[in-house]
Amino acid sequence: MVLRRRLMMVLLCLALVSLGSAMAAETEIRIGVYEPMTGAMAAGGQQTMEGIELAHEQRAKVLGLPVRVILVDNRSDKVEAATAVTRLIQKDKVCAIIGSYGSGLSMSGGPVAQAAKVPVMGCSPTNPLVTLGNDYYFRACFIDPFQGRVMAQFAFDKLGARKAAIIQDIAQDYAVGLANFFKQAFVELTGDPKSVVAFTSYQTGDRDYTAQLTYVANAKPDVVFAPGYYADAAVLVTQARSLGLKMPFLGGDTFEAPEFIEIGGKNVEGVYFSTHYSADAPVTPASEKFVALYKAKFKTAPNTFAALGYDCYNLVLDAIERAGSSDPKAIRDAMAKTKGFVGATGIITLDSNGDATKSAVVLVVKDGQFKLVDVVHPR
Amino acid sequence: MTVEIFLQNVANGITLGSLYALLAIGYTMVYGILRLINFAHGEIFMISTYFAFYGTAIFALPWQVSFALAIVLTALLGVVIERAAYRPLRDAPRISALISAIGVSFLMANLGLVIFGGRPKTFYRPPIFQTPIELGGIRVVALFFVIPLLTAVLLVALNYIVYRTKTGLAMRAAQWDFDTARLMGVDVDRAISITFAIGSALAAVGGIMWGLRFAEINPNMGLFPGLKCFIAAVFGGIGNISGAVLGGFILGFGEIMLVAFLPGLAGYRDAFAFVVLILILLVRPTGLLGDKQRVKV
C-alpha cells in the first residue's frame, strides 16, 4: 500500500515535470551543449564552454525569445557522449546542439543526433568522419587532411625534415586520423615511402612512453609527430627530453591548453603545433571584438577553443534566425546554407559535407607561451 | 636491437616495474588478511598525490614535509575507509564487502572530480630527482635509482613487520581466523586498521613516486594503475608480499619489452597485461608465489 502510494507520488511528480517542460517550449529557445568538462579532454571542453558562455552573454535572445544553454558533461568518454546527446534531445528537448571537443566523442554523439533529426554544430572535432554521411552534423573548423598536411609541409619546408617518426594515441579517432594524414602528406613531399622511419602508438592516459621513445630514438628521425591530447603529449615530450631525444616534436590543435606548458615546463619549449586561430593574428573584425570581450571577462588572452565555442554559438543562433523557427529540421536546413559568416576564427562557409574551409596557424612554445610562427591558407 | 637499446629498455622496465610493485604490495596486504580486494586502492593512490600536490602548491610546504604529511594523511584515510565501509560488513558475505569497495572507489574518484576539478594538475618535482645520469649510453634520471631502492627497502621493512613483530603476528593470526585470533587475545580490529594504514601509506609512496616520475595528476589516474597493480598482485600470488613485487616487475618489464620488440603493437599494451593475467590463472590459479588455497575449518 505504502509502496503504491509512493509510486503514485513519483508518477505525479514526473507528470508535473514533463508538463513543465512542455509549457516551457514556447517561452524559450533551448540549445544543448555536450563537451568534456572532466577527464582527459577537460581543458578543451572547459575552454570551449567559456567561449559559448561569452557569446551567450552577448546575445541571449533570438526570435524574440530568451536562449537557454544546457550543458551536459560527456566526461571525455565515448559512451557518455552518446548518452549526453540522448539526454539533451529527449529530456531537455533542445532544438540544436553544440559539441564536442574530441573527434571520437563527436563521432559517438553524431548518429544519435542524426537519428533524432536534431542538428549539431561541432566546434573543434577535426576528423573527417564526424560529418561524413551525417547530414545533421556541421562544424566550424577545418578537417585533419588539411591539418596533417600543414604540419607535414611545415616540417619539410621550415624545419628541413626528411625523416619523421610518428607516435599516435591509438585510442583516439582524432590522433589516428591525423597521424595518417601527416604520414601521407610527408611521404608525398619527400617522395620516399620510407621517410616515416618509425610509427608507434600509446593509449590515452598511459604515462610511461619510454619504450616507444627508445624505439623512436633508435630510428633517428629529424622530427617526431605525436598527435594526442595535451596532458599525455606533455608527459610524452618530457620523457623524451629526459631520454636525450633532442629533435623537434610536433602536434595538432589539441596541444593548445595551458596544462601542456604547466606539465611540460621547459621540456616542451620548441614544440610546434597547428591550430585554428591565434589572438596574435586576428583575421576578421569579429576576432578583434571577441579578443576584447574575452580579455575583459577572463583577464587573459583567449585560445582557439574559446574562439570556436564563441563562433559555434553564433552560428547556431544565425541558423535559428534564418530558419525563423525553433524547429530542428528548419534549423538544419538553414545551417547547411551557412555562407560567408563572419566569425572570430575566420569567414565560415560550410561545404556540402558541412565542413568549414579555413586557415590554420602554426604555434610554438617559447618562454612558456604559445607564439605565432606561421599562417597557412588552404589551397 | 643493439645491446645499448636493450639495456635502455631494461632500465625503462625497472622504473615502471618498481612503481607497479609499490602499489601491488598494498593490494596484496589487505587481501592477505581480509580476503578483500580493496578496489579503492587506486583511488587512495590518486588522493595521496593530491595531498602532496596541495602541500607544495597551496600551503607552500617544503617538499620533504609535504610528502611526509601526504603519507600520514593517506594512511589515516585508509583507516577511515576501513572503519566506514568495510568494518560494518565484516560478517556479511564477502561479495558485499567487494561491492562496498567498488562503491568507495567510484565515490572517491567522483569526489576527486568535484573537489580537485577535472583538469590535470602539475605535480611538483624537486630538481634533485631529475638530475640526468648517463651510464654507458643509457640515459636515466636520479629517480631511476630512488624508486627500486625504495621498493627494496619497503619490502624488507614489511617482511620484518609481518614476520618479526607482535603486530605482524596479530596480522597473521587474523589472516587465519578472526574468532580464534580474538580468543587468543589478539585485537583483530587493531590489526586490520594497521594493515590498512600500512597498505595506504604504501599507496601514498607509490603515488608520490608516480607524480615525481610523470609530473601529471588527475582524478581519474587511479583507475588503470589500480587495475594493473591488482593484476600484478594476482600474478605474483595474491596475499604474498614478495609475490606482489615480483608480479609488478614482470608486468612492467613485459609491457616495456612488448613495445620494444613489437612497436607496431604498442597499442595493445594494456591488452597484454590482461592476457598475461588470464594465462597465469589458467596455468597457476594461485599465482607465481601463491600458496595452495587454504580452506578455513
Domain that holds residue B195: 23-226
Angle between helices B143-164 and B241-261 (to 10 degrees): 150
What residues contact B3, with CB distance under 8 A and at least 6 apart?
none
User: Rounded mean pLDDT of A328-355?
Assistant: 95
DSSP state of B264: G
The backbone torsions φ and ψ at residue B235, rounded to the nearest 5 degrees and listed phi first, read -55, -45
Q: Look at domain A144-275+361-376 and name its CATH class.
A: alpha beta
Q: Is B224 on the interface with A (CB under 8 A)?
A: yes
Q: What's the CA gap between A114 and A136, in Å, rounded?
A: 5
Q: Is residue B35 part of a domain?
A: yes
A199 strand-pairing partners = A166
Q: Specify the residue for cell string 507520488.
A: A9
pLDDT bin (cut points 50, 70, 90) of residue A4 is low
CB atoms within 10 A of CB A128: 16
CATH number for A2-142+283-348: choose from 3.40.50.2300, 3.90.1330.10, 3.40.720.10, 3.40.50.1000: 3.40.50.2300
Write out pLDDT tens, residues A58-112: 999 999 999 999 999 999 999 999 999 999 999 999 999 999 999 999 999 999 9
Q: Is residue B219 part of a domain?
A: yes
Q: Is residue B257 part of a domain?
A: no
User: Rounded mean pLDDT of A34-54?
Assistant: 95
Burial class (CB in 10 A: 0-12, 13-18, 19+), B114: exposed
Residue ranges of the domains in chain A? 2-142+283-348, 144-275+361-376
Q: What pLDDT sits at residue B296?
A: 46
Q: Which of B106, B259, B268 to mutate to test the interface with A (most CBs of A within 10 A)?
A: B259
8 Å CB contact of A218 and B5: yes
Task: Point out the residue among B16, B119, B122 whose CB comes nearest to the CB of A208.
Answer: B16
pLDDT bin (cut points 50, 70, 90) of residue A26 is low
Task: Give yes or no for residue A136 having a pLDDT over 90.
Answer: yes
- Per CB-CB distance under 8 Å, the chain B contacts of A211 are 9, 12, 255-260, 263, 266
Task: Give yes or no for residue A379 having a pLDDT over 90.
Answer: no
- Per CB-CB distance under 8 Å, the chain B contacts of A196 are none
pTM of the model: 0.90
What residues contact A104, with CB distance under 8 A and at least 6 apart?
A78, A81, A127, A171, A172, A173, A174
Question: Which segments of chain B does DSSP mark as H helices, in order?
Answer: 3-34, 41-57, 63-81, 94-116, 143-164, 166-176, 178-183, 188-214, 223-236, 241-261, 269-283
Task: Point out the residue among A199, A203, A263 whose CB comes nearest to the CB of B215.
Answer: A263
ipTM of the complex: 0.90
Q: Is residue B79 part of a domain?
A: yes
**A100 preceded by a cis bond (ω within 30 of 0):** yes
Q: Is A234 on the interface with B (CB under 8 A)?
A: yes
What residues contact A110, with CB distance under 8 A and at least 6 apart?
A120, A130, A131, A134, A136, A137
High-pLDDT (> 70) share of chain B, %: 97
Task: Give yes or no for residue A17 having a pLDDT over 80.
Answer: no
Q: Which helix (H) or strand (E) holds A122?
A: strand A120-122
Q: Is residue B87 part of a domain?
A: yes
Q: What pLDDT sits at residue B285?
A: 85
The answer to whether the beta carbons of residues B297 and B176 sit under 8 Å apart is: no
Q: What pLDDT sits at residue B297?
A: 45
B165 strand-pairing partners = none
User: Rounded mean pLDDT of A18-38?
Assistant: 76
pLDDT bin (cut points 50, 70, 90) of residue A16 is low
In chain B, which stretches have pLDDT less than 70? 291-297
User: Rounded mean pLDDT of A12-16?
Assistant: 57
As for how many domains chain B has, the answer is 1
Q: Is B259 on the interface with A (CB under 8 A)?
A: yes
Task: Give yes or no for residue A367 having a pLDDT over 90.
Answer: yes
Tell me if residue A355 falls in helix, strand or coil: coil
The answer to whether the beta carbons of residues A51 and A310 sit under 8 Å apart is: yes
From A85's Cα to the closest Cα of chain B, the distance in A is 20
From A146's Cα to the closest Cα of chain B, the distance in A is 25
Task: Point out the residue among B5, B118, B269 whose CB comes nearest to the CB of A39.
Answer: B118
